[in-house]
Amino acid sequence: MVGPMGFRSEPLGDHDRSAFSCGIDALDGYFRNHISQDQRRKLAAPYVLMESEAGAIVGFYTLSSFTIGFSSLPETTIRRLPKYREFPAILIGRLALDRRYQGRGLGRRLLLDALFRCLAISRQLGAMAVVVDAKDESARAFYRHLGFLPFLDHDLRLYLPMAAIARLLAAEE
């Protein structure tokens, strides 16, 4: 997917990750030291948003398969679903923006890029929603603002149904 003007997104490859810093040690350490191992082991599919001219990494996210338990979903969601024990979903496991690019709306663009990929994947492989784990209340508010819904059994875990993603992306065009 083409990101905002002057930016592009692509699968993580042989990118120089040493200068990346989002300001959260756990995410920075994961991105610099462990993301390639998860990619090789097929535990996560990482993507990066790149500044086109400078070639700098603006942000990254990872996608993985996930299942949602029936009992985790609110009544408003499960009344439209079959009575399965679990439902297929896609997890955005990690999402981070380099601090040099924060405050410019690029976090939203990075998330929209991830949602665009998830919607495309769901057309080939069943997935009813995208799941995120917010790091804190501020991140939770960011996701809620975009329409993500809370799970019943986990305060910082949220989901967005694929139909809502399709509407969100259509409104962005």
pLDDT tens for each residue of 35-73: 999 999 999 999 999 997 778 999 999 999 999 999 899
Residue 62, beta-bridge partner list: 46
pLDDT digits (tens, 9 = 90+) for 65-117: 999 999 899 888 888 888 889 999 999 999 999 999 999 889 999 999 999 99
Residue 66 domain flag: yes
pLDDT digits (tens, 9 = 90+) for 124-145: 999 999 999 998 999 999 999 9
Q: How confident is the model at residue 5 (pLDDT cuts 50, 70, 90)?
A: low
pTM of the model: 0.91
pLDDT at 18 over 70: yes
Residue 2 domain flag: no
Residues taking part in catalysis: 143
| Residue 150 lies in domain | 7-172
Residue 15 domain flag: yes
- If one counts every other C-beta atom within 10 angstroms of the C-beta of residue 97, the result is 25
Tell me, what's the pLDDT at 3?
46
Q: How confident is the model at residue 1 (pLDDT cuts 50, 70, 90)?
A: very low
Residue 137 domain flag: yes
Q: What is the gyration radius of the CA atoms in the chain, in angstroms?
A: 16
Tell me, what's the pLDDT at 131?
98
Non-local (6+) Cβ contacts of 54 within 8 A are none
Tell me, what's the pLDDT at 155?
87
As a whole number of angstroms, the distance between CA 32 and CA 16 comes to 9
Residue 1 domain flag: no
Residue 77 domain flag: yes
For CA atoms 19, 24, 120, 67, give the dihedral sign: positive
Tell me, what's the pLDDT at 96?
95
Residue 132 domain flag: yes
> Which residue matches tokens 């995208």?
130
Residue 45 domain flag: yes
130: domain CATH number is 3.40.630.30
Q: Number of structural domains, the chain? A: 1
